[in-house]
Structure 1
Amino acid sequence: MSAVSSESRFRVSGMDCAACGNKVDTALRRLPGVEDVAVSVSAGTVRVRHGAGFDAAALVRQVGNLGYGAEPALNAAPSDTASRKAPHAGDHAGHSHGQAAEAGAQWCSGPKARLTAAAFAALLLAYGLGHLLPALERPLFLAALAVGLVPVAWRAVTAARFGTPFSIETLMTIAAIGAVLIGAEEEAATVVLLFLVGEMLEGVAAGRARASIQGLSTLLPKTARVEANGEVREVSAESLTLGAVILVRPGDRIPADGVVSEGAGEVDEAPVTGESVPKRKGVGDPVFAGTVNGGSVLRLRVTATAADNTIARIVRLVEEAQEAKSPTERFIDRFSKVYTPAVLVVGALVATVPPLVLDGGWEEWIYKGLAILLIGCPCALVISVPASVAAGLSAGARRGLLMKGGAVLESLGRITTVAFDKTGTLTVGRPVVTDIVAGSRSAPQVLSLAASLEQGSSHPLALAILARAKADRAPAPPSFDAHALPGEGVEGGVGGERVFLGSPEAAARRVELTQEQREAIEALNAEGKTVSVVVLAGAVAGFIALRDEARPDAKSALARLHADGLRTIMLTGDNARAAGAVAADLGLEARAGLLPQDKQRIVRDLQAQGLIVAKVGDGINDAPALAAADLGIAMGGGTDVALETADAAILHGRVQDIPDMIALSKRVMGNIRVNIALALGLKAVFLVTTIVGLTGLWPAILADTGATVLVTANAMRLLAWTPRSELGPRPVRG
């Protein structure tokens, strides 16, 4: 019997940059039974795929040997890889125990901060006592150097033992020891202190990026009010079970995903989806955990446990996305593995060639060679891409834009064509009354008669008529003997008279339609609308037109895509007349009457033309096309399908989120280019100034630390990204 691969996730504390992640990755791949490793520095997680012979305790020890802390995500049993998309029950539970505890600690009391403070105090003491006792100056600076260098050197040796000989700590150790050998111990101690300061600042920045997405967890209230057997009692929100009925008072945060079972009111979804306008919720409507009940008491039936609610899944999805490296990040990783040994070679050549060939001074050129090692530290370079990607993924997630990894985030900016589903994507997904045409009765009377017949019906057209009657405050007197006529409509008594509501064809069998009425109905049909005729007392009382209308933001969103040079096309299974009407109104191409396999074929045809295609749909009936597209974007309200199937998902049903997501991708890629330019540009400048003798050891490491801080700070700017749709229309330039 062959072993089945399984997957486990662990929380790892102390990783502050991509170099840390690479060391952990390399060390864990050496463990027996480990098949694959995915490390997310920004999320503080490690996902391991493993088979027979894997020992979780050995993994924790291996990570501990590198100087980091590790623990399994609580209750997260390894899952079969075949069911990878299934929610991991323990992922969210472990969140607060491990990583959140680390994030909650004050950075100034962490081990790196304590080591930095000790090195600073030792260096300050060496300067002070050395000035008073010149004879002890060299031993004092050697002691100050040892305070900071010994832990760094130990990490270098440990990393080398577990597969990473060319680490940043190795470069630092060689440079510091070399400086001592040529009598520059004062500079060596200063360099080590600056290195520790840089590491500490990296830790602060990494903690901020980590907290930006984990902060979503704080949106959940700790308790919930459960209603059972006529009593209301307060329980822990984590203990809520499926089907439980909870009571949410006005102003309270909703403690769990659920469906409204009683009550109606406004719910503020901004904390979860970024939707700025509160949404009206009534019986049967879904609600998200962490959102705020606005104005009235709601009773909800719980539909997801604490470990699998919307917020838990968002956090888990973003963490897993951060574990999936983008193409640029993978390239930088490969480059850094060659780059660091190359720096050692260049440093050695600079130190030896001029004295041997050009008759230069050994001490001068060894000093310059050591400075080259410090300039070459790849800290800023290796953090330049993952910091930007992590910040971009977090910024998007906090606004309901979910992308599964850096590769997706990068690819979005290269899209040239967007193919949309119609129903539920470009349109609201349900019919609404668009026209009420008077006949023998006035328009309000026509609406009242239709609403009277439709009371109690759950048909989509009936619900649309009832919703319009409620909005217009049209009276709907009770009907009697109302019954459906299969294939025709509904008939019943209203106010002592027989009323029929149904299709124009069925109405024509009961009363003669005038030429003018036939033409009006035909015109409405041409606009993709469904017409229901009201017949009363042997005459046409009037008729009502209904259509699945475009979303309010669809036209402006498509205009933005067109302005950015993207092609848009609608792929729908609806009839050509309805599809054409919506497409004409929105200004995009349309292909109608399509089966799922037809949509997939059209996506393939577009790709064959050299276009990079994103397919936007509901994640269910568009599955083949979503899979075939270069990028599949699911449009849904936090459902399993929306969060687990496509490459990206948007939590609220706004078409505007598509151009926003593409804009975020371009913003992130621009940020990455700036970061790489900063990291390499500063190194190039200081390489030249060091060779010509203008700068030495401590300016070299200061340049690397400065570049790391600049790159990280630039990436963190993405956390404040705001979609253009939230900024309002751009001013018109005169």
Structure 2
Amino acid sequence: MRRIELADKCCRSTKETEYKEKNCSSHSSKETGKSSCCQSKSPAENHSVKTSCCGSKEQHTAEKTETLLDPLPSGEKRSYRIHGMDCPACAKTIEKGLRTLKDIADVKVHYSTAKMQVAASSQEAFNPIASEIKKLGFSIEALHQGDTKTFDIEGMDCSSCAKSIENHLNGLPSVKHVTVHFSTGKMKIEHSGSVKDVINEVSKIGYQASLQSGKKSIQKNKNEQRVVILSGVLIALGFIGSFYGMPAMMSAALYFIAMAVSGYKPVKSAYYAIKSRSLDMNVLMSAAAIGAAFIGEWLEGATVVWLFALGNYLQTKSIERTRNSIHHLMELAPSEAWVQVGSELMKKPVEDITIGDIIVVKPGDKIPLDGEITRGESSVNQAPITGESIPVDKQIGDAVYAGTINEHGSLEIKVTKLIEDTTISNIIHLVEEAQEQKAPTEAFIDKFASIYTPVVFILALAIMVFPPLIGFGTWDGWFYKGLELLVVACPCALVISTPVAIVSAIGNAAKHGVLIKGGTFLETAGAISAVAFDKTGTLTEGKPNVSDIKALHLSEEELLSIAFTLEDYSAHPIAKSIVDYANEKGIQPQQGELFKNIVGKGVQAAIQGEIFYAGNLKLFEQMNADVKDAKKYIQEQQNKGRTAVIIGTQNQIIGMIAVSDTIRKTSASALQALKQSGVKQTVMLTGDNEGTAKVIASEANVDRYFAELMPEEKVEAIKTLQKEGHKAAMVGDGINDAPALAAADLGIAMGGAGTDTAMETADIILMADHLDKLSHTMKVSKKALAIIKQNIWFSIMIKVIALIFIFPGWLTLWLAVLSDTGAALIVILNALRLLNYKE
């Protein structure tokens, strides 16, 4: 394929950062002071933080994750959001510009999240930042600087409960900002009061708040269980007693007590919901129960409240499984570690361990912190991080991760990350953030429910009043129908149908070593029809291996011995592959001297008094050697996608060694599995020549390929797929492929366990270098979408049937409650299937 000319040269891989810094700073516009390659939008217009110079999609990452920046120096610190950045070079420009200001200690700008952290030695140093940012051509927004804390909230039954809590707390003068996420059961609040004040205020509304910790409380469930059992027993006594001559007043009293026991919480919550102008399920159920008692239907009223309490208890028990879908990850990393201090070992809490400390991990123990092995060899079970079931062999110099299990030998590990920065901490953080993001379907349903509920509520009031007012039927009859409609107005099952499925699917993927950064990307994955792969390091191993040897005038062993001697001097990846191959074959190097590196051509050394060379064709042509046979061999190897190294003297070529980047063993099977999961087209993107690309494409079994591409030209290849009508995903390493990952409908990065950039750039991260995880991701997404559709249609059908049954008088009040709470429970249980979904 011919090279595709890219119109917009602003897009660059991160390999070209230096080029961009130079050009974006030296060719800045006089009017804006901003990089000329980044002027496709004004700062005011560019609030979505688009890579508009690449014509790429909106960077959702900027809205959905917290910045994972390097720690700043001690002192005053503030965070900001930057609007108007169009390429990563803009971030570098801002950093350089602000570092020139007085008393600014350090600046970190993260392009993909559009956030900036500034450390300064005084408060006054922050004052000129806004004007300086404006001079550079961007706009700035200060992020919340207050004391933000995260609380676990217990007792929420649907997203309307979360809204009621938000509305109540936002009315308090001490609260600056609050968000409550029903799907994860968490609340983030910025306030000037105490933790106790927050807990008390949440308690007033009928919910329980606790400052976030890894420990789970079960007291609430026990209390709810007692309430349900007690009220159920009271209702049963009243009902049975009525058949054995119990006075009606006595039965009514038992029903009243049962209503008071199980109805206290919803009535209290309803009061604060009305006070905060929310119309949640507690308001509707409380009104129905009180209304039933008002017209003398004590048994119905008590049954309504009891069924509501029972339904909520069962829902809470069920949904806790989804909220805790990654909770086991938090318990994986041990809280203490053995630290080597001189010649002794001391046990320390992981919070007290600093970077550079040496920790000792015994066989069978869990690794407490991320680090690098300095002594020992072992097999490490990395399943919690990468989803790999087979332990990975580790030796000196290899990276290991907190929460993984040391299977065999004792290891000494130099700590490289603090507890809050470990890979497993980042995984937990990213998954929790992802679970809090609303997918398009969920956002639509929430909007629909916010209109549906008040409309039906008003309709219920109208039914209670207008028909009997005009003489059509009795007041009691229409009042009862209105109460039924109030219960039917509660859209709990519908609202809960999507978030529980999304949280379950994201949790399932995380357990299999796949991080999906939000419901939006989960839904997108289910619609992908074409997947493009970067070749090097994605479809292939990313490192060369010896694939063919041709010896002339001597044996292969002798040729390898000479090549070993020559290449052992070089640090080139191809030379290293030849050295590794010789070592594997047990070949011994010869005695060499006078080693010399010939830049861009090869190496030379004296062996037994004669000068030998290892290099490319150009080197031997310059020495006027006979290269006729070598040329033919090189051409043959190039047609197979290989690179040939020539070995010889000035007068004679003694052999050739062909080296190639071998395809991953799992590539072909992984692509086949993708096809079975519904992907219509697989594509390879490479900078290699046509011949090499054709060979690799054939081995990997991809449908088509784009060859001879510069890194930035991969963006145009992705656009070509999109113009053909495909929803396109791009799979790369998250670094060199950043522009293409951003341009695709879905960016998927491989090897996230060792690459922070991959975590920040892509929408989906494969923690291990295994393409076979891709098909599981697509299938989980499609399964989630199918379950969401099932839940939505089931919820709507139940509501429609209940509405139809009201007017003929077929629906009783307790059946209306059962239809609502029962439907919600069925929807949750259906979504829970995703937690244990396997291919």
Counterpart residue number, 1:147: 261
Q: Does the C-alpha gap of structure 1 residues 496 and 290 become closer, same or farther in structure 2, counting only changes over 3 Å? A: farther
Say whether the 8 Å CA contact 2:569–2:595 is kept in structure 1: no
Say whether the 8 Å CA contact 1:176–1:192 is kept in structure 2: yes
Structure 1 gap segments, 5+ residues each: 73-93, 725-734
Q: Does the C-alpha gap of structure 1 residues 62 and 413 become closer, same or farther in structure 2, counting only changes over 3 Å? A: same
Q: Does the C-alpha gap of structure 1 residues 95 and 481 become closer, same or farther in structure 2, counting only changes over 3 Å? A: farther
- Distance in 1 (CA, whole Å) between partners of 2:226 and 2:608 is 85
Counterpart residue number, 1:82: none
Counterpart residue number, 1:162: 276
Q: Over aligned residues, Cα RMSD in angstroms?
A: 2.9
For 1:261, the aligned partner's letter is T
Q: Deviations over 1:9-45 (max 9, x none)?
A: 4123213432322323444455569787543333332
- Distance in 1 (CA, whole Å) between partners of 2:592 and 2:836 is 56
Q: Does the C-alpha gap of structure 1 residues 520 and 235 become closer, same or farther in structure 2, counting only changes over 3 Å? A: same
Counterpart residue number, 1:116: 228
Counterpart residue number, 1:567: 681
Aligned runs of 1:394-409 on 2, under 5 Å?
394-409=507-522
- Distance in 1 (CA, whole Å) between partners of 2:554 and 2:498 is 68
SS at match of 1:6: coil
User: Could you tell me how far 1:158 is from its partner in structure 2?
Assistant: 0.7
- Distance in 2 (CA, whole Å) between partners of 1:56 and 1:461 is 62
Counterpart residue number, 1:619: 734
TM-score between the two structures when normalised by the length of structure 2: 0.76
User: Could you tell me how far 1:691 is from its partner in structure 2?
Assistant: 2.9
Say whether the 8 Å CA contact 2:206–2:266 is kept in structure 1: no
Q: Does the C-alpha gap of structure 1 residues 441 and 293 become closer, same or farther in structure 2, counting only changes over 3 Å? A: farther
Equivalent residue for 2:766, pick from 650, 665, 680: 650
Say whether the 8 Å CA contact 1:17–1:206 is kept in structure 2: no
- Distance in 2 (CA, whole Å) between partners of 1:37 and 1:647 is 26
- Distance in 1 (CA, whole Å) between partners of 2:166 and 2:636 is 66
Say whether the 8 Å CA contact 1:38–1:323 is kept in structure 2: no
Percent identity over the alignment is 37
Counterpart residue number, 1:43: 184
Counterpart residue number, 2:526: 413
SS at match of 2:142: coil
SS at match of 1:221: coil
TM-score between the two structures when normalised by the length of structure 1: 0.87
Say whether the 8 Å CA contact 1:9–1:45 is kept in structure 2: no
User: Could you tell me how far 1:62 is from its partner in structure 2?
Assistant: 4.4
- Distance in 1 (CA, whole Å) between partners of 2:179 and 2:732 is 29
User: Could you tell me how far 1:301 is from its partner in structure 2?
Assistant: 2.0
Say whether the 8 Å CA contact 2:625–2:650 is kept in structure 1: no
Counterpart residue number, 1:68: 207
Q: Does the C-alpha gap of structure 1 residues 515 and 17 become closer, same or farther in structure 2, counting only changes over 3 Å? A: same
User: Could you tell me how far 1:108 is from its partner in structure 2?
Assistant: 4.0
Say whether the 8 Å CA contact 2:481–2:807 is kept in structure 1: yes
- Distance in 2 (CA, whole Å) between partners of 1:232 and 1:453 is 45
User: Could you tell me how far 1:69 is from its partner in structure 2?
Assistant: 3.7
User: Could you tell me how far 1:141 is from its partner in structure 2?
Assistant: 1.5
Q: Does the C-alpha gap of structure 1 residues 685 and 291 become closer, same or farther in structure 2, counting only changes over 3 Å? A: same
- Distance in 1 (CA, whole Å) between partners of 2:175 and 2:504 is 29
SS at match of 1:232: strand
Aligned runs of 1:691-702 on 2, under 5 Å?
691-702=807-818
Say whether the 8 Å CA contact 1:643–1:649 is kept in structure 2: yes
User: Could you tell me how far 1:172 is from its partner in structure 2?
Assistant: 0.6
Q: Aligned pairs, how many? A: 692
Aligned runs of 1:579-598 on 2, under 5 Å?
579-586=693-700, 587-598=702-713
Q: Does the C-alpha gap of structure 1 residues 625 and 28 become closer, same or farther in structure 2, counting only changes over 3 Å? A: farther
Say whether the 8 Å CA contact 1:223–1:237 is kept in structure 2: yes
- Distance in 2 (CA, whole Å) between partners of 1:299 and 1:458 is 28
- Distance in 1 (CA, whole Å) between partners of 2:269 and 2:219 is 24
Whether 1:267 aligns to 2:406 is no
User: Could you tell me how far 1:528 is from its partner in structure 2?
Assistant: 2.4
User: Could you tell me how far 1:538 is from its partner in structure 2?
Assistant: 5.6
- Distance in 1 (CA, whole Å) between partners of 2:709 and 2:181 is 41
Whether 1:313 aligns to 2:426 is yes
Q: Deviations over 1:417-447 (max 9, x none)?
A: 3232222222222212222233333334433
Counterpart residue number, 2:644: 531
Aligned runs of 1:144-543 on 2, under 5 Å?
144-164=258-278, 166-352=279-465, 355-356=468-469, 359-455=472-568, 457-476=570-589, 479-493=592-606, 499-508=612-621, 512-513=625-626, 515-535=628-648, 539-543=652-656
For 1:163, the aligned partner's letter is R
- Distance in 2 (CA, whole Å) between partners of 1:31 and 1:323 is 24
User: Could you tell me how far 1:706 is from its partner in structure 2?
Assistant: 1.4
- Distance in 2 (CA, whole Å) between partners of 1:538 and 1:674 is 77
SS at match of 1:431: strand
Say whether the 8 Å CA contact 2:358–2:412 is kept in structure 1: yes
Q: Deviations over 1:557-595 (max 9, x none)?
A: 223444524333333344444434323432343333434
Q: Does the C-alpha gap of structure 1 residues 695 and 528 become closer, same or farther in structure 2, counting only changes over 3 Å? A: same
Q: Does the C-alpha gap of structure 1 residues 547 and 23 become closer, same or farther in structure 2, counting only changes over 3 Å? A: farther
Equivalent residue for 1:12, pick from 152, 162, 166: 152
Structure 2 gap segments, 5+ residues each: 1-126, 131-140
User: Could you tell me how far 1:257 is from its partner in structure 2?
Assistant: 1.4
- Distance in 1 (CA, whole Å) between partners of 2:795 and 2:270 is 23
For 1:329, the aligned partner's letter is E
Whether 1:641 aligns to 2:761 is no
User: Could you tell me how far 1:390 is from its partner in structure 2?
Assistant: 0.4
SS at match of 2:325: helix
Q: Deviations over 1:55-95 (max 9, x none)?
A: 676755543432334456xxxxxxxxxxxxxxxxxxxxx54
Query: Higher mean Cα deviation, 192-201 or 202-211?
Result: 202-211
- Distance in 2 (CA, whole Å) between partners of 1:716 and 1:478 is 67
Q: Does the C-alpha gap of structure 1 residues 438 and 16 become closer, same or farther in structure 2, counting only changes over 3 Å? A: farther
User: Could you tell me how far 1:199 is from its partner in structure 2?
Assistant: 0.9
SS at match of 1:428: strand
Q: Does the C-alpha gap of structure 1 residues 29 and 322 become closer, same or farther in structure 2, counting only changes over 3 Å? A: farther
Query: Higher mean Cα deviation, 695-704 or 117-126?
Result: 117-126
Say whether the 8 Å CA contact 2:326–2:510 is kept in structure 1: yes
Aligned runs of 1:71-82 on 2, under 5 Å?
none
Query: Higher mean Cα deviation, 209-218 or 680-689?
Result: 680-689
Q: Deviations over 1:368-406 (max 9, x none)?
A: 332232233222111111000100111111111111111
- Distance in 2 (CA, whole Å) between partners of 1:56 and 1:302 is 36
- Distance in 1 (CA, whole Å) between partners of 2:478 and 2:380 is 69
Q: Deviations over 1:158-179 (max 9, x none)?
A: 1121231x11011111111111
For 2:523, the aligned partner's letter is E
For 1:637, the aligned partner's letter is G
Say whether the 8 Å CA contact 1:39–1:323 is kept in structure 2: no
Equivalent residue for 1:672, pick from 785, 788, 791: 788
Q: Does the C-alpha gap of structure 1 residues 709 and 313 become closer, same or farther in structure 2, counting only changes over 3 Å? A: same
Say whether the 8 Å CA contact 2:370–2:399 is kept in structure 1: yes
- Distance in 2 (CA, whole Å) between partners of 1:341 and 1:383 is 18
SS at match of 1:552: coil
- Distance in 1 (CA, whole Å) between partners of 2:256 and 2:587 is 90
For 2:332, the aligned partner's letter is L
- Distance in 1 (CA, whole Å) between partners of 2:612 and 2:648 is 6
Say whether the 8 Å CA contact 1:493–1:499 is kept in structure 2: yes
- Distance in 1 (CA, whole Å) between partners of 2:487 and 2:534 is 54
- Distance in 1 (CA, whole Å) between partners of 2:538 and 2:198 is 45
- Distance in 1 (CA, whole Å) between partners of 2:446 and 2:453 is 11
Say whether the 8 Å CA contact 1:16–1:206 is kept in structure 2: no
